[in-house]
Amino acid sequence: MGEDGSGGALHLLCLAANSGVPLFCRSSRGGAPTRQQLPFSVIGSLNGVHMFGQNLDVQLSSARTEDTTVVWRSFHGSITLIVLSSEEGVSELRLERLLQAVFGAMVLLVGLEELTNIRNVERLKKELRASYCLIDSFLGDPELIGDLTQCVDCVIPPEGSLLQEALSGFAEAAGTAFVSLVVSGRVVAATEGWWRLGTPEAVLLPWMVGSLPLQAARDYPVYLPHGSPTVPHRLLTLTLLPGLQLCLLCGPRPPLSQLDPQMLERWWQPLLDPLRACLPLGPRALPEGTPLHTDILGLLLLHLELKRCLFTVEPWADRAEPSPEQRRRLLRNFYALVTATHFPPELGTLEKADDTAYHAQLPRACYLVLGCEEPGAGWRLVALQLGPRRLLLLLSPQSPTHGLRDLASRTLQALTPLL
């Protein structure tokens, strides 16, 4: 589970599938970006063994050596992505979803046509530089988890109904159905049109907004990997408060100049206090007063039908150990473990016929103790699946193992009205 820290290196390779020409290589070590590059001979060997298998109608998807896990993935027969991780015990599911997120980011900023019909490799290399910032945020130690869960990172504002009403009115005045409020890459509130966006753009758009440098206003061309991969849309962002941004997805209209200060003042000046209350929700995700047990050090709640999630490793401000980075790593690794081995695929991917007997045998809960099971030793991790909701908790060593399921059930019951 990597509870002592990752410390491993991660290398991401992108190649043109037909020619094997490298388009880019991005790397990180211990969660921090690095300029370290793999030798061209290693890149060629990794691509060569994948192409050799394809020529024999064998699909090579992953491999493990003594200290490295490698995952290959081809997209549309034109782009090959390869990821190598030396992190101990890294999950193949995690690396596979990393590659899906990376390709989604490439489509978001370059468009599918440029990636499937490569006319000029050097020009494509230059265009792909626009995606480096977003891609690097996946390779580091992200505070978000949507890249892994494929659900939108959300927060619950204390006065959500007021913000939702203002958002709907502003969207109508601006002439677009796709508007959201985003704090630190997490969605605070959104219009119905925004929630209807498909995966991966629903995850990638707020993530990208959170990864970009602070700017008062922005007019950004984007493609929608699911909804419009070949025709660009415009992503407009307006900073209401530092860290809190208003996002609009639209066509040629409205022009950015139409969203003047008077229009923003009309809709958002009366809600300045509720907007300020959203700022600390970035790391916490939940409003003050949410009933949580004091043993909870981190939680991940997913609604698999709505494709939304709440993720926090800072439910309490006075807990120093383990560090937030360690808590995120533990919960991410635990999610990958239970999703790959214990719980069923996300809803909608199972065949409906002959499901009854299969579902009757599926586990509803599982737990993991890192270290000794004695009281006061070893972090506790518990997962609970109930209908479309899945809850994962990181608990302190003082939490008794015999009470984990009951604690998780009460927590899920308390959080269900929120998501």
Average pLDDT for 168-189: 94
Q: How much of the chain exceeds pLDDT 90, in percent?
A: 63
Same-domain pairing of 156 and 250: yes
Q: Is residue 25 part of a domain?
A: yes
Neighbours of 280 (CB within 10 A): 16
- Position 231 confidence tier, pLDDT thresholds 50, 70, 90: very high
| 77 and 173 share one domain | no
* Number of Cβ within a 10 Å radius of residue 284: 18
CA distance 148 to 197: 18
207 and 238 both lie in a single domain:
yes
**Do both 259 and 324 map to the same domain?**
no
Q: Which long-range contacts (CB under 8 A, 24 or more apart) does 109-116 make?
A: 109/134, 109/222, 109/223, 110/223, 111/223, 111/229, 111/230, 111/232, 112/76, 112/223, 112/225, 112/229, 112/230, 113/229, 113/230, 115/75, 115/76, 115/78, 115/79, 116/76, 116/77, 116/78, 116/79
The DSSP call for residue 352 is S
Calculate mean pLDDT across residues 387-415. 93
**How many structural domains is the chain composed of?**
3
pLDDT averaged over the chain? 89
Q: Report the percent of the chain where pLDDT is more than 70.
A: 92
- Is residue 146 included in any domain, yes or no? no
End residue of a domain, out of 89, 118, 141: 141
Same domain, residue pair 17 and 118: yes
For residues 201 and 108, the answer to whether their CB atoms sit within 8 Å is yes
pTM of full prediction above 0.85: yes
Q: Domain limits at 329?
A: 297-347+360-418
80 plus 182 within the same structural domain: no
Is 3 a member of any domain? Answer: no
Do 185 and 230 fall within a single domain? yes
Instruction: Tell me, yes or no, whether 221 and 310 share the same domain.
Output: no
Band of pLDDT at residue 51, cut at 50, 70 and 90: confident
Residue 289 lies in a domain: no
pLDDT digits (tens, 9 = 90+) for 327-338: 999 999 999 999
